[in-house]
Structure 1
Amino acid sequence: FADAEIVEFCDDGWSGKNFDRPAVKELLEQTKHGKIQCIIVKDMSRFGRDYLTVGNYISKVFPFLGVRFIAVNDGIDSIRPQDVDSLDTSFKALLYDLYSRDLSRKVRNAKRARAQKGEYLAAHPLYGYVKDPARKNHLVIDPPAAETVRRIFVMVGGGVSIAQTAKMLNSQGVPTPMRHKTAKGMYASWNCIGEENLWTEASVLKVIRNEEYTGSTVYGRRFHDRIGQGHSVKVSKKDWIIVPDVHEPIVSMEEFDRAQAALKEYKERHVPVGSKTRIRCGICGHAMSRRNTKEPYYFCRTPNVTDVCSCPQERIREQEIHTALLV
């Protein structure tokens, strides 16, 4: 390798179970285009911890592409045929996979133990709060955002609809949680086509339904069912970890209950994966709502909360969307 051009790929902070890591994706893309002839890693776990995927690349993909693979600490070099399909290589890949799974379980259990003590474990603070400089797992009130939260609870608890509340906040130019975060220098993104970020019925409802505004911490709303992946599933409320009286409340329990009473009773629903089409409005970029009638249809809810966007108010039948996609 004396005269070889060396390119380094590094993915700090990413799980080896995830093959969607940016640097690994770039490595594999260059490999497929013939720009890389040899891959050298410290050991196989640095390439990946999913033994099926790792085994497929080492025994099939890389030999097909004519790419040499070397795992230094494991003593594996694909130039030696016995290293590619050996039991030792397969066993090491399996061990790395099992180690990753075991480590994930230990981290998950440790987090649950901390959550049961009332520690706030989310990466970013809840809208209306900031992280306590003295205790990073404790929340303290952020006055400007907290005042908006109080207003939302008062309006909804007083009989103002979710849509009217959102429209009022938009008309008064009240910054959304995303805008508030970016103004504070925090990273925030939203799935919209343009630069507009508006209060929506969903964002108002998210505030109203969140029991953490009463001073409780809530952990375990979602569960990552695939180790190392971003995919998660909803968890039934009975399995959440809720610890009351942990931080200063923004609203009292009476105000919280009054707002809940003004809304339809929350019911957990199981929606089978793949049973709904993901459709976004081409004007505002927000997800369109689906009505499950005899002939299901989609419509954009943005006109309910603002006059800024000229979103179409016509109903779009689901069958028409499926026909357009399949033609």
Structure 2
Amino acid sequence: MLISSEKIYKAADYLRLSKEDGDFSFSSKKAESDSISSQRKIIERFVAQQPDIELVAEYTDDGYTGTNFERPQFQKMMEAVKAGKINCIIVKDLSRFGREYIDAGRYIEKIFPQLGVRFIAVNDNYDSLKFSTSDSLIVPIKNFLNDSYCRDISIKVRSNFESRRRNGEFVSNYTPYGYLRAPDDKTQLVIDEVAGEVVRDIFRWKVEGMSPVTIAEKLNARGVLSPSEHKRSLGINYKTAFQTNARSKWSPKSVIRILTNEVYTGVLIQGKRTTPNYKVKHTIIKDEQDWSRIEHAHEPIIQVREFELVQKLMQEDSRRASGSDTVYPLSGRVYCGTCGTLAKRYSVTNNGAKYAYYTCPNAKKDGSCEKRRISEKELESTVLAILQSEIKLILNMEKALNQIEELAWEHRETARLDKAIEVKSAEMQKCRTMKVSIYEDLQDGLISQEEFLQMKDGYSQQISEIEQDIGKLKKERAMIQDGVANRSGWLSQFREYQNLPSLSRASVVNLVDKIELYPDKKIRVVLRYQDQLANMVEFLREQDATKSVPEAEVS
């Protein structure tokens, strides 16, 4: 085909590089990838030798995949084409245009000809203006090879990332708030002392009774940088979908994300999300059992027992006391001893004085529960006296433990939990084996389809319950190991409050599991760590050490 010397094509060079191609940088200090600069030079040299082409625009998608055409600069270029501003598109080679051979072929063979657009791939020696019969075979083959290459790269990248996650390497783009990349190993996390202290404050305030709303307000009032602003202050080019203002502030949601993130206990959880394949970029959430979870992957900011306590508090009533930033000391802890319903706090005014009391809501609602009422002041006084007495007895038992052998009880408990986990794991494996065997029985005609489905659901339920039991045992073991590592087990909670002068929200949530109300103002205080306390008493009896310790029923 002869080229008309009168027509000058208004061309745009299109440059692209994906993250997987290796040169893309997240750094704000680097304007563009080296490959992008190289692509530009190749196209400029080519245009300099073409008298019928004038380069009028450039579109660059740096860091975007070639497996689809949902790229911002590509879409902008197509708008310019439809507006008649461009009638020629030049790329370095077909792989820079796209690696999805079906859509790439559709653009080259259908869309561009319909729009009157000349398409040139410099290194592939393809020019739609000089189209030949051989090109009709070569171009689709090259597009197919590019697509296959993309698929292979995707598989390798996924495999590499999965392997690194299993090895405990941090592979995400951005570190969690409170952590930085280690200077000598970018795949490991170290504590950011400035942000780490803020994380400790957030957990402490929650234990003291503050809600996420109050905590966010307090951080903003103190001028503490939000997680995204803190990252930017460190020179990190950070973007988030959660930000709605030019300068982000602390919000209740950002506080909740921190309070519920296990990373602060030293656990590294990765691989929660994935995409169906290299062509579909829609993100899906993987099943929890498929997540990568590495214990003790880095130094914790928060101890396991404090994290577990906060998770429980997040599920409880967190309404503030009137005129206070925190909830009432006993909020979410008082229950009816008969029906188990959470007791309700009522406030009345008598002769100008406010009076608060707790009662079972069912007694007033439908009379299904016997009436019981106790004033808040009297209840707090009684709970304080019980705590002071129980703390004294528990610390006496701790002294007896110290006389036997340092941390002997903790080591015994760890061994007991390891054995329990082993037994549960064997039980789960047995269920899985049985689940497989019933399928074989179905194939052999020994059971019907209905029996198979019923038995399959039964085994699945058992496996799920066992997995939950193992999870609880592992958390309990982690709490004990956390205590051993810090030379301070769960007993430190009671040691911390050995001279408890008054009842505070922090002392209640750290020591009390629940308070049960009974008629005639009788109450029962159930302490936290009931199993540990019972096991400690049993251990002391086994060691014949209880003679020096007063007998006491832990309740």
Q: How does 1:16-95 map to 2 (within 5 A)?
A: 16-80=66-130, 86-95=136-145
Which of 196, 199, 202 aligns to 1:152? It is: 202
Of 109, 120, 144 in structure 1, the residue corresponding to residue 170 of structure 2 is 120
Matched residues in 1 for 2:81 and 2:168: separation? 47
The correspondence for 2:190, drawn from 116, 140, 144, is 140
User: Using the alignment, how far apart are the partners of 1:206 and 1:228 within structure 2?
Assistant: 31
Deviations 1:202-230 (CA, angstroms, capped at 9, x unpaired): 11111112111111221112113463776
- Provide the C-alpha distance between the structure 1 equivalents of 2:270 and 2:243, rounded to a whole number of angstroms: 28
What whole-Å deviation, never above 9, does each CA across 1:86-120 have from its counterpart, x for those lacking one? 34432322221222122111101101101111111
Identify if the C-alpha distance between structure 1 residues 63 and 103 changes in structure 2 by more than 3 Å, giving closer, same or farther.
Answer: same
Contact 1:178 1:197 in 2 (8 A): yes
Contact 1:58/1:84 (CA < 8 Å) preserved in 2?
no
With over 3 angstroms needed to count, the CA separation of the structure-2 counterparts of 1:84 and 1:235, relative to structure 1, is farther
CA gap of 1:144–1:82, structure 2 versus 1, over 3 A, is: same
Identify the residue that residue 489 of structure 2 maps to in structure 1.
none
- The answer as to whether partners of 1:149 and 1:207 remain within 8 angstroms in 2 is yes
* Residue 104 (structure 1) aligns with: 154
The residue type equivalent to 1:91 in the other structure is I
Say whether residues 1:213 and 2:283 are aligned partners. Answer: no
CA displacement at 1:188 relative to structure 2: 3.2
Match of 2:284 in 1: 233
Residue 309 of structure 2 aligns with an amino acid whose one-letter code is R
1:135/1:84 CA distance change after superposition, 3 Å: same
CA distance in 2, matches of 1:12, 1:195: 24
Matched letter for residue 285 of structure 2 = K
Does the 8 A contact of 1:129 with 1:146 survive in 2?
Answer: yes
Please state whether the residue corresponding to 2:143 is helix, strand or coil.
helix
1:261 aligns with 2:326: no
Identical residues among aligned pairs (%) = 41
Q: Summarize the Cα distance change of 1:214–1:84 in structure 2 as closer, same or farther, 3 Å threshold.
A: farther
Query: Aligned pair 1:204/2:259, yes or no?
Result: no
Q: 1:158 to 1:234 in 2, by over 3 A?
A: farther
Corresponding residue SS for 1:138: strand
Query: Any idea what the Cα deviations from partners look like across 1:113-132, whole Å, max 9, x if unmatched?
Result: 01111111112221101111
Shift of 1:67: 1.3
Q: Which residue of structure 2 aligns with residue 4 of structure 1?
A: 53
CA shift for structure 1 position 158: 4.0
The amino acid of 2:206's aligned partner reads V
Deviation at 1:8, TM superposition (A): 4.8
Q: Which moved more, 1:201-210 or 1:28-37?
A: 28-37
Q: Is the 8 A contact 1:59 1:85 kept in 2?
A: no
Q: Which residue of 2 aligns with 1:242?
A: 293
SS of the counterpart of 2:61?
coil
- What is the deviation of 1:35? 2.7
Structure 1 residue 81, shift from structure 2 partner? 5.3
Mark the CA change 1:187 to 1:74 in structure 2 (over 3 Å): closer, same or farther: closer
Q: What residue is the counterpart of 2:547 in the other structure?
A: none
1:83–1:89 contact (8 Å) kept in structure 2: no
Structure 2: how far apart are the matches of 1:136 and 1:112? 17
Change (3 A) 1:130 1:192: closer
Which region of structure 1 is more displaced relative to structure 2, 52-61 or 164-173? Answer: 164-173
Give the letter for the 1:119 counterpart. E
CA-CA distance at 1:34 after TM superposition = 2.4
Amino acid at match of 2:288: K
The alpha-carbon deviation at position 85 of structure 1 amounts to 8.5
- Taking a change above 3 Å as real, the CA distance of residues 258 and 78 of structure 1, as seen in their structure-2 partners, is same
Poorly superposed stretches of 4+, deviation over 6 Å: none
Q: Secondary structure at the match of 2:107?
A: helix
Deviations 1:64-99 (A, max 9, x none): 111122234444332355559934432322221222
3-state SS of 2:53 partner: coil
Q: Deviations over 1:220-257 (max 9, x none)?
A: 12113463776422223221101111211101111111
1:317 corresponds to: none
Task: Give, in whole Å, the separation in 2 of the partners of 1:3 and 1:79.
Answer: 12
Where 1:5 maps in the other structure, the secondary structure is strand
**Higher-helix-fraction structure:** 2
Greater strand share, structure number: 2
CA distance in 2: counterparts of 1:85 and 1:156, whole angstroms:
68
Q: TM-score, normalised by structure 2?
A: 0.44
CA separation of 1:45 and 1:83: change in aligned 2, threshold 3 A: farther
What runs of 5+ residues in structure 1 fail to find an aligned partner? Answer: 266-327
8 A contact 1:221–1:234 mirrored in 2: yes
Cα distance in structure 2, aligned partners of 1:210 and 1:192? 19
Q: Distance in 1 between matches of 2:301 and 2:134?
A: 60
The 8 Å contact of residues 263 and 269 in structure 2, kept in 1 or not, is answered as yes
User: 2:303 — aligned with what?
Assistant: 252
Unaligned runs of 5+ in 2: 1-49, 317-555
Give 1 or 2 for the bigger CA radius of gyration. Answer: 2
Q: 1:141 to 1:229 in 2, by over 3 A?
A: farther
Distance 1:97 1:264 in 2: 49
Identify the range of structure 1 (37-46 vs 226-235) with the bigger mean alpha-carbon deviation.
Answer: 226-235
Structure 2 CA distance for aligned equivalents of residues 140 and 178 of structure 1: 18
Q: Which amino acid aligns with 1:180?
A: H
For 2:258 and 2:249, locate their aligned partners in 1 and report how far apart those are by CA, in whole Å: 14
Match of 2:273 in 1: 222
255-264 or 3-12: bigger deviation: 3-12
